[in-house]
Amino acid sequence: MSTVEIKVPDIGGHENVDIIEVFVKAGDVIEKEQSLITLETDKATMEVPSTHAGKVVSVAVKVGDKISEGGVVLTLETAGAAAAAPAPAPAPAAAAPSPQMASSASQPAAGAQPALVAGDVVECDVLVLGAGPGGYTGAFRAADLGKNVVLVERYASLGGVCLNVGCIPSKALLHVAKVLTDAEEMREHGIDFGAPKIDIDKLRGFKDGVVSRLTKGLSGLAKQRKVSVLTGEGQFTGPYTLNVTAADGSVKTVRFKNAIIAAGSTALKIPGYPYDDPRVITSTGALKLEGIPKKMLVVGGGIIGLEMACVYGALGTEISVVELGDGLIPGADRDVVKVLTDRIGKRYKVMVRTKVSQVEATAEGLRCTFEGDWAPKEPQTYDKVLVAVGRRPNGKLIGAENAGVSVDERGFIPVDNQCRTNVPHIFAIGDIVGNPMLAHKATHEAKCAAEVIAGEKSYLDYRAIPSIAYTDPEVAWMGLTETEAKAKGIAYEKAVFPWAASGRALGNGRDDGLTKILFDPESHQILGAAIVGVNAGELLGEAVLAYEMGADISDITGTVHAHPTLSETVAMAAEIAHGSITDLYIPKRKK
């Protein structure tokens, strides 16, 4: 037998935090991840779990004590324990995970109880199928409103595609890509860091560490809210039952009063590609970061494909992008996308109005034949081919018909503005209910569904869902686009502020951007906005809020924006529309 000291982990820089609860005493036998104490600041609370299983030898703290990171909580006797390690980072308490402490406002309602388990049957108020951003948000919100909840997830970790093999790991790698390209471009300004040395294992570890920290946070949030998590494939067997099949083949039946379907989507595959060859990958494979290929073809010029091109291009891969349509990122306006294509056109080979007609696996690589306007005359060989041509909803994979839930021919589940399906007690959210397939859309839908189940008068009434490509430069837009306005005959005017006139953009060495606002010619109310440039996604929020609140151009011009910032480009665009811009000279229109 060995002993270990269980210590307080990273708690976000807080020191001398109050201990308000102690759950164990000397002599107790505890499990790994069991909560030991609760900490509280003036803003938040969190529980500290055990890193080991064993018998408590002594408890070093009591209620009323103060403790900081690294402080000893207790001594534990274990069987062959390893050296002491800090406890896992505590769970966050917000709709989206964060490494910070849990918000006391997000604790479960007093009436929330765990699901009832009897053998292989689990009974609950609310079943949530799928633990992506929408699923876990719905589960946690329902628990906060006093419901006992079962959350079913096919993967071992909560978070779904977004957190495990999508949004989060890709952003970690895109950060690395940005650092690499920034360092490279500093040569023009007299600073040369030399050629980077890339340790692919450490880089992968960084990415995996980000994912692990957030998934552990979600597990902690589920425990705090007494949400029961079942791991396995979920299939409806009736309007009030769902079977969960675990990896070992065992089956549990969940009986529920209400259900939220949050089963997500799956990457589309182009017929005829040799998918049995590991060199043909989807974004999931690309994010595994198993190596840095010399040459890679990205099939699909949408957001996912271009983000992965950004990552691998920065790591040293020779990138080619092929897109069947007329241009990249088809959902955004062409003037905005042009800023991106002008930059990446110098770094990658981009082929629009072109398709891959054949992919042949050879010993030398993947031999690709092209057709179209920009097709190479001869087949090209690549070390990897990344297929990123969109996603398909999983509506037909969950036995929805057994519950009487309608699913259309594409796999989408129709819902009303309360996220209710044609079966009144079953709701659906996220990718599975329609485009855009975005996590932030799913989380809003999830809260609505959970609140309706709890008897609240909630419904969806947002005006805009922002879209962002986290490329370099980033492309962000919301509301009406010019393409849509022209197609629908909607009257609009626009104002475009070039970042070449932004002091902050010039100081950053990145003036390749613009901020555009569309507005109503009569009322001057905001109709839409688009921004392209470094950190464009962080700048879009003001425009989204303005649109949601029905603001007009003068509301933005009358708001003082800090100088010099990139955020003031929104104000500059509004001043152009208002006719009061002084940072540019724009001749007045003749009446």
What residues are annotated to the active site?
A: 563
* Cα-based torsion angle of the residue sequence 411, 416, 417, 418 in order, rounded to the nearest 10 degrees: -100
Q: Which two tokens stand for residue 52?
A: 């080991």
Q: Backbone dihedral region of 80: left (phi > 0), alpha (psi from -120 to 50 degrees) or beta?
A: left
Burial of 138 (0-12, 13-18, 19+ CB in 10 A): buried
Closest CA to 536 of 337, 400, 368, 315: 337
Alpha-carbon distances of 374 from 135, 320, 345, 383, rounded to whole Å: 42, 12, 13, 21
**Judging by DSSP bridges, how do beta strands 102-103 and 44-49 pair with one another?**
antiparallel
158: nearest Cα among 134, 175, 142: 134
What is the distance between the alpha carbons of residues 499 and 510, in angstroms, rounded to a whole number?
A: 8
Cβ–Cβ < 8 Å for 526, 517: yes
DSSP state of 109: P
Q: At what angle do helices 167-185 and 303-315 cross, to 10 degrees?
A: 50
Report the alpha-carbon distance of residue 103 to residue 46 in Å, rounded: 8
**Considering just the CA atoms, what is the radius of gyration of the chain in Å?**
26
Say how many C-beta atoms besides its own lie within 10 A of residue 272's C-beta. Answer: 10
How many other CB atoms are there within 10 angstroms of residue 458's CB atom?
17
The helix (run of H) or strand (run of E) holding residue 307 is helix 303-315
The answer to whether 499 and 513 are in contact (CB under 8 A) is: yes
Q: Where are the beta strands (DSSP E) in 353-481?
A: 354-361, 366-372, 380-382, 384-387, 391-393, 426-428, 467-469, 474-479
- 10 Å CB burial of residue 573 (0-12, 13-18, 19+) is buried
Helix (H, G, I), strand (E, B) or coil at 73: strand
The DSSP code for 78 is: E
Closest CA to 374 of 345, 396, 408: 345
Which pairs with CB-CB distance under 8 Å and at least 24 residues apart come from 501-506? 501/572, 501/583, 501/584, 502/564, 502/566, 502/568, 502/569, 502/572, 503/563, 503/564, 504/564, 504/565, 504/566, 504/568, 505/533, 505/534, 505/566, 505/569
